[in-house]
Amino acid sequence: MTTAEPAVVADGLTKTYPGGVRALDGMGVTVAAGTVFGLLGPNGAGKSTTVKILTTLARPDSGTALVAGHDALRHPDRVRRAIGVVAQKSGADPVATGRENLLLQGRLYGGRGAALGRRADELLDRFDLSAAGGRLVRTYSGGMQRRLDVALGLMHRPQVLFLDEPTTGLDPEARTAMWDEISRLAGDEGLTILLTTHYLEEADRLAERIAIVDRGRVVAEGTPDELKGELRGDAVHVELRDTPGEIDAHLLATALREFAAVREVTVDGRRLSARADDGPAAVPQVLTVLEQQGATVASVTVARPSLDDVYLRYAGRRFAEADTDPAGAGAGGAGAKDAVTAGNAGGTR
């Protein structure tokens, strides 16, 4: 138990956009001060809407939001002074230099004089942008631009930093570099970070706690280990050949439970599924047991747990099916492409 007040407490948030899209449906989240918290979910889950409400850029239809001890609905000005925001889309001015962007941001927050310049240079240095600080932002690579976005969010030394999809659209190298930056930030005295992502691996690497968001609410929450722990092991799928003489798949499942090193055996027609700590090692055993029971096997496959499995378990459908945004606000065609990447990233344990 910590006695410090949480940095973010949102409860019962609902929001329906004009046109009837229910973006939030009872969204709630509590983030302990000084921690990194990840909101993980597919496109359209409501992550950005949540961030917009917490950062006072949108109002919910109902619910409460406290950020850094201030009511985001009643005292948005107080919240704004306490937070830094890195939106999903870059807010930097492309026809100003990186350093000019930082100075402007600092002035917006009331910064003046030499201290402002020192802060800008400190952040340029920290984000490996010193050499590029005098160049127009439109000449920056995607990774450089994203690092500048984070620097902008930190210019006025916020208590709570919101990062909305900090690495979406970055190539793998730039993504890894950004992960390193965020990890370092997390070590900063007292800084709380709330980040959103649709990459399991990203949430896994950066967040101390994760909330899986689906259709505007949290469907599962815990540390990465807790969430993945429930999925530990490989999935083993067996397809039985249609055999005369009526083999009872449920009896086979019982035999597997008893004689093979597998668990969570389920039957779906002629298909048996189970989990095993070591899938490849379990396969010969599974085949032997099935053979002893008189069954003929058509195919066996072993699959490592992926984001799909995590998501399937908590949301009841596949990530790729969910990662489409029928309302399509802003996301465009990016959803399907991102879903593929997310599925691959989920392979890491």
Taking the least distance from each CB to ligand ADP, the nearer of 234 and 338 is 338
How near is the Cβ of 21 to ligand ADP at its closest, in Å?
Answer: 4
Instruction: Match 């959803």 to its residue by tokens.
Output: 335
Taking the least distance from each CB to ligand ADP, the nearer of 23 and 31 is 23
Total of residues contacting ligand ADP (CB under 6 A):
15
Contact positions with Mg ion (CB under 5 A) in 48-87: 48
- Decide the pairing of beta strands 297-303 and 70-71: unpaired
In this chain, which of 10, 38, 49, 101 binds ligand ADP, going by CB under 6 A? 49
Nearest 10 degrees: Cα torsion 244, 249, 250, 255: 100
Q: Choose among Mg ion, ligand ADP, none what residue 305 binds, the Cβ cut-off being 5 to 8 Å by kind.
A: none
Q: Choose among Mg ion, ligand ADP, none what residue 228 binds, the Cβ cut-off being 5 to 8 Å by kind.
A: none
Instruction: Name the segment binding ligand ADP (CB under 6 A); options: 111-119, 235-243, 276-284, 323-331.
Output: 323-331
Structure tokens at 292: 């002893």
Taking the least distance from each CB to ligand ADP, the nearer of 75 and 318 is 318
Contact positions with ligand ADP (CB under 6 A) in 7-36: 17, 19, 21, 23
Q: Choose among ligand ADP, Mg ion, none what residue 327 binds, the Cβ cut-off being 5 to 8 Å by kind.
A: ligand ADP
User: Contact positions toward Mg ion, by CB under 5 A?
Assistant: 47-48, 88
